[in-house]
Amino acid sequence: MDNASAAADHAATNSAAHGADPQLVTLADIRVAADRIQDLVLRTPIVALPHPDRPSDVLHLKAESLQPTGAFKLRGAYNTISQVLDESRERGIIAQSSGNHARAVAWLAKRLDLRAVIVMPDAAPPTKVAAVRALGAEVVLVPASERDSRTLELAAEHGYVEVPPYDDVRIIAGQGTVGLELIDQLPDVDVVLVPISGGGLISGIATAIKSLRPEVQVIGVEPELAADAAESLREQRRITWDTTLTYRTVADGLRTPAVGVHPWEHIRRYVDDLVTVSEEQILTAVRHIAVEGRLVAEPSGAVATAAWMHDLAPRGATVAAIVSGGSVDPALMARVLAG
Amino acid sequence: MDNASAAADHAATNSAAHGADPQLVTLADIRVAADRIQDLVLRTPIVALPHPDRPSDVLHLKAESLQPTGAFKLRGAYNTISQVLDESRERGIIAQSSGNHARAVAWLAKRLDLRAVIVMPDAAPPTKVAAVRALGAEVVLVPASERDSRTLELAAEHGYVEVPPYDDVRIIAGQGTVGLELIDQLPDVDVVLVPISGGGLISGIATAIKSLRPEVQVIGVEPELAADAAESLREQRRITWDTTLTYRTVADGLRTPAVGVHPWEHIRRYVDDLVTVSEEQILTAVRHIAVEGRLVAEPSGAVATAAWMHDLAPRGATVAAIVSGGSVDPALMARVLAG
């Protein structure tokens, strides 16, 4: 399958789940989401990180890694589930993810007393599978290539309510609450750096920020080895990379082969630029965030900081970066810290 | 010198700096401090940490490690300096510390455009000395045993304004703002666990909490290898341990040989109990806080969490622990994470 047809296929699969043309989230949607989710979601702090070479130059980290499940995913998942709570209680919920979305959905299901089925790739690390099971969710292991189709089949067969990972306006509105908080906490921000994978996070943040402060630059950051979004923006069309390419990066949360259909519509309207970082730059950022920011960031969560450290993104007087998650393998973190 | 006379000597030295009998800080003092320091001090978040063996049992971490200088020390230092700002600007400030207090004072001096002299032990790690110098402070290296006396001499000789590390009511009131925030963020807290060394932090927190919610238990935690405070409470008198004993612990922020004179008066009135943790329990807590709480804690910052993990402190429905600092040697953190 070539890139274009793979993209079309991916789009078809994803849109089928919610059966609508791409819609744009509004600031009002994000404000409503903020009210809906505030009882279980942490208003994450802004943590100051000095530049390694220019100590008086400080990056403002929005530490989504401190959410109870270790990543921003809780916001979108909760905003979605809370809108379909009655049917979710009756029929159960289903989600597909190998990582932070799985954990967020399982955690919410436990808190809200819902039955949850999580479809995970059979190559997922046993510790991640165990973590989801420990939260009481049922795990279904399938080959990675069948994740989307098996999830839809199971949902159709059993009537489960699907909680999509990123290609959904409810998810985007939930993730956008990060942007609302950021503008409130750091009103004079000039540049906001956001990790990008499926695109739900940056879509929500860019919508919030451009609605409130159009002059603020919103920049997406992804690994060079999984740079489908940067290529898409350059080519002005949504491009899919094969997972044999995207799975090369250590940033295991950023291996999605293409941004979603709904995110793409937000990204092309609201995002100023997309930049890429190398594997070495990502790991250097993980170390710097730990030593000088005292936060545990996973590689995916460190890409925005990496772009700032290496002057790969536009500079500004007040720059913020989203640390999107902190679920890192302890052995990897040990190697990074040992230097 | 035996313990009792060492204690007396220590008390005399410390009291001399501010020349008054021990005074008790009030809730009003802490509220004023909160106003004074809010422009430069982070309102630190409460981060949820699941128990390693009982996942539904959660500890609420107050992450002081996320302060711009990596520890709570910024609060007391700023509350002190802001009350003597005119003379500090004219004459400069001096502080003695090998760790987080030094960094806080140097950082504040840079922010407030003050001349700062930091007296550090000549055995301090070169990285810590370099970090203080990088902030623009002048470092004076002296033998560890001469730190107090040299600081007083330099202050007398040059007219520097001293910013004491813990034995001062302004410092205690500043640290007490942690307690004010905690009660606001976690109104139904039952038990609060606090690392103890010189005693400034727990004195302020206990004063705030017992004034607002007398039924909440405030428990101090220190290493078994530096258990001077626990012995003091048991004996109902302030006891000094020799530094050849206290320097055995990996928790390098908790090696102070005795709680201060002012802290002692607060501790014996307001603190419910003091418990101790082993070196292994401390390092296990550092690892657990990193992996499940996604926070980098230094060993000193992890002792309260260690007491909770190992059921060494009173249990309650809602338990909080202060993670007091995060300035850990990367090589130590790497070893802890490698397991």
CB contact under 8 Å between B338 and A339, yes or no, is no
Backbone angles phi, psi at B92, to 5 degrees: 85, 165
pLDDT tens for each residue of B227-244:
999 999 999 999 999 989
B37 reaches A (C-beta below 8 A):
no
From the list B45, B70, B337, the residue facing A45 with the nearest CB is: B45
The conformation of residue B68, written as its DSSP 8-state character, comes to: T
- For chain B, the domains span 3-72+168-338, 74-162
Query: How does pLDDT run across A290-328, given as a tens digit for each residue?
Result: 999 999 999 999 999 999 999 999 999 999 999 999 999
Q: Output the CA–CA distances (angstroms, integers) from residue A224 to A245, A274, B130, B294, in the order listed.
A: 10, 11, 35, 26
Q: Give pLDDT, residue A131.
A: 86
Chain A residues within 8 A of B61 when measuring between CB atoms = none
Q: Do B294 and A294 touch (CB under 8 A)?
A: no
User: Are the beta carbons of A320 and A48 closer than 8 angstroms?
Assistant: no
The DSSP annotation for A108-157 comes to: HHHHHT--EEEEEETTS-HHHHHHHHHTT-EEEEE-GGGHHHHHHHHHHH
Interchain contact B66–A (C-beta under 8 A): yes
The whole-angstrom separation of Cα A311 and Cα A322 is 16
- Judged by CB atoms closer than 8 Å, whether chains meet at A291 and B43 is answered as no
Q: Say how many Å lie between the first and final Cα of chain B, rounded.
A: 41
Tokens found for residue A116: 């949850």
* In chain A, residues 301-330 whose CB comes closer than 8 Å to chain B: 326-327, 330
Q: Name the fold adopted by B3-72+168-338.
A: Rossmann fold (3.40.50)
Q: Which of B228, B209, A85 is nearest to B219 (CA)?
A: B209
Tokens of B94: 């001096």
Q: How far is CA A275 from CA A228, A246, A265, A307, in A?
A: 11, 16, 18, 8
Query: Around Cβ A129, how many Cβ atoms within 10 Å?
Result: 18
CB-CB neighbours of B72 under 10 Å: 32
B54 lies within 8 A of chain A by CB: no
Closest chain B C-alpha to A187 CA, distance in angstroms: 14
Topology adopted by domain A74-162: Rossmann fold (3.40.50)
Interface confidence (ipTM) of the complex:
0.90
| Tokens matching residue A121 | 């790739």
| H/E element, B305 | helix B299-309
Most B CBs within 10 A among A294, A295, A296, A300, hence the mutation to make, goes to A294
The radius of gyration of chain B from alpha carbons, rounded to an integer in Å, stands at 18
| Chain B residues within an 8 Å CB radius of A334 | 333-339
Across the interface, do B66 and A55 touch by the CB < 8 Å criterion?
Answer: no
Q: Are B330 and B311 in contact (CB under 8 A)?
A: no
CA distance B177 to A289: 26
B73 belongs to the catalytic site: yes
CB contact under 8 A, A337 and B331: yes
pLDDT over 60 (residue A97): yes
CB atoms within 10 A of CB A205: 32
Domain B3-72+168-338 and domain B74-162 have a common topology: yes
Q: Say if A63 is an interface residue toward chain B (CB within 8 Å).
A: yes
Tracing tokens 């990008």 back to the chain, one arrives at A196
A144 pLDDT more than 50: yes
Please give the CATH number for the structural domain made up of A3-71+168-338: 3.40.50.1100
> What does the pLDDT average to over A228-235?
96
What is the distance between the alpha carbons of residues A19 and A150, in angstroms, rounded to a whole number? Answer: 18
The alpha-carbon gap from A309 to the nearest alpha carbon of chain B, in Å, equals 18
Q: Does B49 touch chain A (CB under 8 A)?
A: no
Please identify which of the residues A88, A300, A324, A327 carries the catalytic annotation: A324
339 residues of chain B, pLDDT tens digit each: 333 333 333 333 343 344 456 789 999 999 999 999 999 999 999 999 999 998 789 999 999 999 999 999 999 999 999 999 999 999 999 999 878 999 999 999 999 999 999 999 888 878 788 889 999 999 999 998 898 899 999 999 999 999 999 999 999 999 999 999 999 999 999 999 999 999 999 999 999 999 999 999 999 999 999 999 999 999 999 999 998 999 899 999 999 999 999 999 999 999 999 999 999 999 999 999 999 999 999 999 999 999 999 999 999 999 999 999 999 999 999 999 998
Would you state the structure tokens that stand for residue A240, as one six-digit string?
A: 């899919």
* 3-class DSSP state of B152: helix
Query: What is residue A164's three-state secondary structure?
Result: coil
Helices and strands, number each (H, E), in chain B:
15, 10
Phi, psi of A57 (to 5 degrees): -90, 120
Question: What confidence tens digit (pLDDT) does each residue in A37-82 have?
Answer: 999 999 999 999 999 998 789 999 999 999 999 999 999 999 999 9
- How distant, in Å, are the alpha carbons of A196, B185, B260 from that of A228? 10, 42, 59
pLDDT in tens, B2-45: 333 333 333 333 433 444 567 899 999 999 999 999 999 999 99
More confident residue, A112 or A17: A112
Distance CA B182, CA A303 (A): 32
Q: Would you call A320 helix, strand, or coil by DSSP?
A: strand
| Shortest Cα–Cα distance, A149 to chain B (Å) | 32
Tell me the two tokens of residue A98. 């190998």
The DSSP call for residue A185 is: H
Say whether B128 is catalytic: no
